[in-house]
Amino acid sequence: MQNDIILSMRNISKSFPGVRALQNVGFTLRKGEIHALMGENGAGKSTLIKVLTGVYPKDSGQVFLNTDNSLKEINVKSPYEAQNLGISTVYQEITLCPNLTVAENMFIGRGSYQTVNWRIMKKKAAEILEKLNIPVRATQQLDTCSIAMQQMVAIARAVDMDCKVLILDEPTSSLDEQEVEKLFSLKRDLKSRGVGIIFITHFLEQVYEICDRITVLRNGELVGEYEIKDLPRVQLISKMMGKDLEDVSALQKRKPVGGETEGTPVYEAAGLSSIECSNAFDFKIGKGEVNGFTGLLGSGRSESVRAIFAADRITGGKIRINEKDVKIKKPKDAMKHGIGYLPEDRKRDGIVEDLSVRENIILALQVMKGFFRPFSRAEAEAFADEYIKLLGIKTPSMDTPIKSLSGGNQQKVILARWLLTNPQYLILDEPTRGIDVGTKVEIQKLVLKLAEKGVSITFISSEIEEMLRTCSRLIVMRDRKIVGELKGEEMTQDNIMHTIAGEAV
């Protein structure tokens, strides 16, 4: 039994200024298992991984690694050292060089600084890719591959470095289902080779599909380690959240309550198109209605809502707001007409990372108020204070730079920014992506609450269950075209899948 264990972390503690990130956390990884590390944002998953890979020094505790069939204590000081010990990490954001070839990416920064034999490098890379069944050419430039392929290249790189422990930090959050499936078959393959895989994800389905064991963390403490078969989903969620079970299951059973399109449409577009969304489409949303765009990644759902907000250059279409013809040519026009847009990519389009939570919250309203009319400090603080309390944003102070907040709290700040503008129509593109279960539930509740108050909402999520829970109408997209619309009784997971796939039910 002892020999099965490849990695054992015991009593790990780590504190940051003002925060106890980890407290006596233990973690055990066995050979050939896929082990899910679960917890809400801020539970300490990332910190634990960063301690393991030497990004952060630990305050106390021990790490043991199986070398030559016996556990030896290791003290990793840098990610480079971790790699040499056989601990490799593949992060959510690809950390490779997009303008180098696949082969170069696989061998870059490894071992000695001797001259490179390009021929051997390419040959070796091709061998590994073939062995792992990854359909890319070694000489292909990395950014010509899809995100999923890039991630697999990152894994191939890790595997070739004789890794014993492979850490996948949210590898699937930007992949569509087919890509996830490819990634999973690669993982199963690695598993059969005896690699221990630590898998961090927010997608519960994926955990149950592929993992053997789950370790749950909450608030920097170990909740427990479980066999997957002993822990049903609802229990897992409640363990992660530490909240009462009814809360979660109640929301899951809840019928969609959003209003209907009848009555005056708040927003109406005819033949709308943008440079990113060339297929003109018609769309309307009624007061207090919650609808959603669904489809696979790349189906054009984000591009469509971006066109509504005029985030990309508009190439055509007529827009009516509250039954009046209006022109929306740039985001500021949309904002003036009471439209808010929470973008899909929080990091690239949402937060202003170096600025404070306060400045991030007031940004949109400030722009609407005008260049020559800045809010006074007191006004800005009052707004920030109100919304930090309202949404329960966890931040040391409103002057903290937003980049030091967890993903879920950053998302709440962006939400606060748009709620502050008092929009009549709010577009939420993947508001729950990459954030913890607790905040997800909160955001869904908030959507329904806003709808009750008469705000129209377009909601996009990769998780169909989430869409079913919140939307009263679903627009289904495939290959950048709207292929169907589902309402009321028609809205079932099966129906959606079939519509996306383009088959009759």
Query: Applying CB under 8 A, which part among 122-130, 229-237, 329-337, 486-494 lies near other proteins?
Result: 329-337
Query: Applying CB under 8 A, which part among 102-110, 187-195, 328-336, 434-442 lies near other proteins?
Result: 328-336
Q: Which is nearer to other proteins, 283 or 309 (CB)?
A: 309
CB of 143 to other proteins, least distance (A): 19
465: nearest Cα among 200, 92, 204: 204
Site string (391-430) toward other proteins, x via CB under 8 A: --------------------------x-------------
27: nearest Cα among 75, 62, 72: 62
Per the structure block, which two tokens stand in for 405?
A: 């907040």
Residues numbered 340 to 369 that lie near other proteins (CB under 8 A) are 341, 343, 345, 348-355, 359, 363-364, 366-368
382: nearest Cα among 368, 394, 365: 365
Spatial distance between the Cα atoms of 160 and 166, rounded to a whole number of angstroms: 11
Q: Which is nearer to other proteins, 54 or 258 (CB)?
A: 54
| 227 class by beta-carbon count within 10 Å (0-12 exposed, 13-18 middle, 19+ buried) | exposed
- The residue type found at 130 is E
- Pick the binder of other proteins from 230, 371, 453, 504 (CB under 8 A): 371
Greatest CA separation found in the chain?
75
CB of 377 to other proteins, least distance (A): 10
Q: Which is nearer to other proteins, 278 or 400 (CB)?
A: 400
Examine residue 303 and tell whether it contacts other proteins (CB under 8 A). Answer: no
Q: Which is nearer to other proteins, 153 or 460 (CB)?
A: 460
Listed in order, strand segments (DSSP E) in 132-172 are: 165-169
Sign of CA pseudo-dihedral 307, 313, 315, 318: positive
Answer whether 127's CB lies under 8 Å from 49's CB: no
Per the structure block, which two tokens stand in for 393?
A: 């944003």
Ordered DSSP codes for 184-221: HHHHHHHHHTT-EEEEE-S-HHHHHHH-SEEEEEETTE
Query: Applying CB under 8 A, which part among 26-34, 83-91, 132-140, 370-378 lies near other proteins?
Result: 370-378
Q: Which is nearer to other proteins, 330 or 487 (CB)?
A: 330
CB of 369 to other proteins, least distance (A): 9
Spatial distance between the Cα atoms of 105 and 113, rounded to a whole number of angstroms: 15
Q: Which is nearer to other proteins, 413 or 435 (CB)?
A: 413
Sign of CA pseudo-dihedral 305, 182, 185, 502: positive
Examine residue 374 and tell whether it contacts other proteins (CB under 8 A). Answer: yes
Chain centroid, CA 291 distance in Å = 21
Query: Applying CB under 8 A, which part among 2-10, 269-277, 296-304, 324-332 lies near other proteins?
Result: 324-332
Q: Which is nearer to other proteins, 225 or 349 (CB)?
A: 349
Interaction site with other proteins (CB under 8 A): 309, 311, 330-332, 335, 341, 343, 345, 348-355, 359, 363-364, 366-368, 370-372, 374, 417
